[in-house]
A and B are shown apart, each in its own frame.
Chain A
Amino acid sequence: MSNISRAFENGKAFIPFITCGDPDLETTKKIVHEAVSNGADLIELGIPFSDPTAEGPVIQEANERALKGGVTTDLIFDMVKELRKDITIPLVFMTYANVVYSYGPEKFMTKCKETGIDGIILPDLPFEEKEEFDPVCKKYGVDLISLIAPTSKNRAAKIAKNAEGFLYIVSSLGVTGTRDVIDSDLGPIIKTVRENTRIPCAVGFGISTPEQAAKMAGISDGAIVGSAIIKIIKEYGRDAAPHVGEYIKSMKNAL
């Protein structure tokens, strides 16, 4: 059983996303600690990429800030190692295929295993290209997390059947970023998921308010929030940790 399943044992899961190194890795560490003590069930740690094509402007800018600050894949592995001294909840990376490919998939997954990363989300690696990393992920016990979108239609069943860790349900069309209204009908997709797999699914993209989180977690097993947290980090910079903690508490309480 994947370590990730533990994130879904505590009621509906709240999953925050943080870009590592925005504004610096010390702040990222503080934010992770605050997130855990305020109820985060699993954390997505973003390894910044120069050209994040699935992100809206908020996370694009966070990537730019982090890279300008000098963060690298190696420094992020060092940070995870530090975090693992007292953080026990599941941690997954969210980054782009080239970051893993360029580092060397074997070396990358070895380090994931050594430092305690449980899974990885690559938004530019669809089902058809999974083979690029799947064998090496399996070898090192890192769950390669699949995404299902409102446009997946006939693809949803096969993606769900082969999914590991948890399924990331993309709430709506477009890139990441907060939305006033999420009006996609995710019911049929989640029904297909349930028919094809027993692993949990969480909804992300566009969620920022407790009401949206409650609604999305209500039809799935959890809610994923990125841009809304990144906005707080942008506003408070190095002092962001307690503010992020407070926000996460309000979101987790709403689930």
Chain B
Amino acid sequence: MSTKKGRFGEHGGQYIPETLMNAVIELEEAYERYKNDPQFEAELAQLFNEYAGRPSRLYFAEKMTKDLGGARIYLKREDLNHTGSHKINNVLGQALLAKKMGKTRLIAETGAGQHGVATATAAALFGMECVVFMGEEDTKRQALNVYRMRLLGAEVIPVKTGTATLKDAVSEAMREWTRRISDTHYCLGSVMGPHPFPTIVRDFQSVISKEIKAQMLEMTGHLPDAVIACVGGGSNAMGSFYHFIEDKNVRLIGCEAAGRGVDTFETAATIATGRSGIFHGMKSYFCQDEFGQIAPVYSISAGLDYPGIGPEHAWLHDTGRAEYVPVTDEEAVCAFEYLSRTEGIIPAIESAHAVAHATKIAKDFDKDSSIVITISGRGDKDCAAIARYRGEDINE
């Protein structure tokens, strides 16, 4: 994929303070050592299968298929994983790696709280200390997840700087890592940040596309015509796309959070509205002003409310291998309600962005074709916020 170490085309790299350089070099060396180590692979496979509940199901959404009147719709049920989202895949991998490296403490950023919950879970399982940074705004939007993290033994630190959302949580986690490196692993939650994180996270998440491929072949005898996933930093999308990159007939579609629309300032659609920049350790596309100040982005979804996108996605966009489309809050909320009523599956509001786009394009496909939508997480955490969006005030 990449031409140079840690690069995806011109994107990627290691734009971080010198204080952290040896830490990421050490991480890269450890990852290179363990990634093909049969013992490590066996331990991770056991965690995936017996603890996280993998493989996750690929479900044929018959009612949705009939209703939309086009492609056959399949749902990749990452929402059924332990902790309720795809985040556990990456976290189990990184926690196991951290343990092998002799680290005793995990720190993480979180937006919607899914990655924080997954990290707190792995820390509990491995007997490690855990500190999660979460934008103060998000601790309000996702109060239930804050409680879950604390219940699991993690310390949750509300981040008040900047827009008090995901980007500020990432900044604060990076700052914390520079303060305390020797016993601490920064368990980054998406395919972003400095090399080797985009590669490590992608590899641990690529189990999603590996399973989709095998399941589609078993269920239909064919590869899907399109794979659709939501993109913030882009870990579930990267995991869903990865093993299809060489299968050029499979369309790969990433759904960005457009917030109130790409023609407004209240958006988080990086590919649609951003440009090349250097931030959070990587070169990629970022929402920013003319002087390179990072834009205060917005989305109803705390998990997609990030001003950048992972470098490998930026490269898939540059090469045209994947398409990236904006989906608004309103469209995502409608899809959240639609999937709940049609299939009895309440998706995370993040995943609802992917569902929304699928409902738009399904009828453009013929009846023999198939679309896989990755349901990256479950929507219980979002019910109170969506109720509020619809003007109903309920207590969590």
Q: Which residues of A contact B (CB under 8 A)?
A: 49-51, 53-54, 56-57, 60, 64, 67, 72-74, 96-103, 123-129, 132, 146-155, 159, 170, 173-175
Are A101 and B277 touching (Cβ within 8 A)?
yes
Cα A108 to Cα B291 in complex, Å, equals 11
How far in angstroms is the closest Cβ of chain B from A30? 24
A39 and B280 CA atoms in complex are apart in Å by: 36
B279 sits at the interface (CB 8 A)? yes
Residues of A near B22 (CB, < 8 A) are: 151-155
Q: Is B21 in contact with A50, judged by CB distance below 8 angstroms?
A: no
Does B2 touch A at the CB level, under 8 Å? no
* B 249-289 binary contact with A (CB < 8 Å = 1; else 0): 00000000000000000000000000011111101001010
Please provide the chain B residues from 171 to 228 with a CB less than 8 Å away from any CB of chain A in the complex: 171, 174-175, 178-181
User: Can you report 10 A-B residue pairs in the complex whose CB atoms are below 8 A from each other?
Assistant: A73-B291, A128-B13, A128-B14, A148-B18, A149-B17, A152-B21, A152-B22, A155-B21, A159-B18, A175-B179
Complex-state Cα separation, A125 to B174, whole angstroms: 15
Q: How far is the CA of A113 from the CA of B53 in the complex (A)?
A: 60
Query: Is B178 within 8 A of A54, CB to CB?
Result: yes
Asked whether A125 lies within 8 Å of B179 as measured between CB atoms, the reply is no
A151's partner among B19, B168, B288 (CB-CB below 8 A) is B19
Least Cβ distance of B131 to chain A in Å? 15
B18–A152 CB distance below 8 A: yes
User: CA–CA, A72 to B13, complex, Å?
Assistant: 27
CA distance A146 to B175 in the complex (A): 19
A124 partner residues in chain B, CB cutoff 8 A:
15-17, 278, 281
Q: Does B3 make an interface contact (CB < 8 A)?
A: no
A248–chain B nearest beta-carbon distance, Å:
26
- A126→B20 CA distance, assembly (Å): 9
- Given A124-B16, A149-B17, A175-B279 contact (CB < 8 Å): no
Name B155-170 residues within 8 Å CB distance of A.
161-162, 167-168
**Interchain CA distance A200-B15 in the complex, whole Å:** 25
B14 to A129, Cβ gap below 8 A?
yes
Known: A54-B178, A96-B278, A101-B292. 5 other contacts (CB 8 A): A50-B294, A51-B162, A149-B21, A173-B19, A173-B180
Tally of contacts, chain A with chain B, CB under 8 A: 118
Q: Give A154 to B293 CA distance when docked, in angstroms.
A: 34
Interface residues of B (CB under 8 A from A): 13-23, 161-162, 167-168, 171, 174-175, 178-181, 276-281, 283, 286, 288, 290-294
**B19 and A51 contacting across the interface, CB-CB below 8 Å:** no
Residue of B nearest to A154 (CB): B22
Asked if B14 contacts A126 (CB within 8 A), the reply is yes
Instruction: Find out whether the CB atom of B178 lies under 8 angstroms from the CB atom of A175.
Output: yes
Residues from chain B with Cβ under 8 Å of A148 in the complex: 18
Contacts of B175 in A (CB 8 A): 53-54, 56, 174-175
Of the candidates B174, B278, B288, B291, the one whose C-beta lies within 8 Å of that of A97 is B278
Chain B residues near A125: list those with CB within 8 A.
15
- Complex Cα distance A51/B14, Å? 17
Q: Which of A102, A103, A154 has the most CB of B within 10 A?
A: A102
Q: State A54–B279 Cα separation when bound (angstroms).
A: 12
From B17, B21, B291, A54 is in contact (CB under 8 Å) with B17
- Residue among A49, A74, A97 making CB contact with B15, cutoff 8 Å: A97
* The 3 A-B residue pairs with the shortest CB-CB distance in the complex, in nearest-first order: A102-B292, A174-B179, A149-B19
Chain B residues with CB below 8 A from A159, complex form: 18
B47 CB to closest chain A CB (Å) equals 31
A147 with B18: CB separation less than 8 A: yes
Q: Is the CB of B18 within 8 A of A103?
A: no
From the candidates B13, B168, B283, name the one contacting A51 in the complex (CB within 8 A).
B168
> Contact: A98 with B178, CB < 8 Å?
no
CB contacts (< 8 Å) of A127 on chain B: these are 18, 21
Q: Are A98 and B19 in contact (CB under 8 A)?
A: no
Q: In the complex, A51→B288 CA distance in Å?
A: 11
CB distance from A163 to the nearest CB of B (A): 12
Instruction: Decide: A51 and B278 in contact? CB cutoff 8 A.
Output: no
Let me know if B23 and A151 touch, CB within 8 A.
Answer: yes
Contacts of A153 in B (CB 8 A): 22
Residue of A57, A99, A173 touching B291 (CB-CB under 8 A)? A99
**A55 closest partner in B (C-beta):** B175
**Contact A173 B294, beta carbon cutoff 8 Å:** no
Docked-complex contact B277 and A102, CB < 8 angstroms: yes
Q: Is the CB of A98 within 8 A of B18?
A: no
What's the Cα separation between A147 and B178 when bound, in Å?
14
**Could you tell me the distance between the alpha carbons of A201 and B23 in the complex, rounded to whole angstroms?**
24
- Whole-angstrom distance between the Cβ of A117 and the nearest chain B Cβ: 16
Closest to A97 in B: B278
Among A50, A132, A151, point to the contact of B162 (Cβ < 8 A): A50
Q: How far is the CA of A73 from the CA of B293 in the complex (A)?
A: 10
B280 cross-chain contacts in A, Cβ below 8 A: 51, 53
A53→B171 contact, CB < 8 A: yes
A128 to B22, CA, bound (A): 12
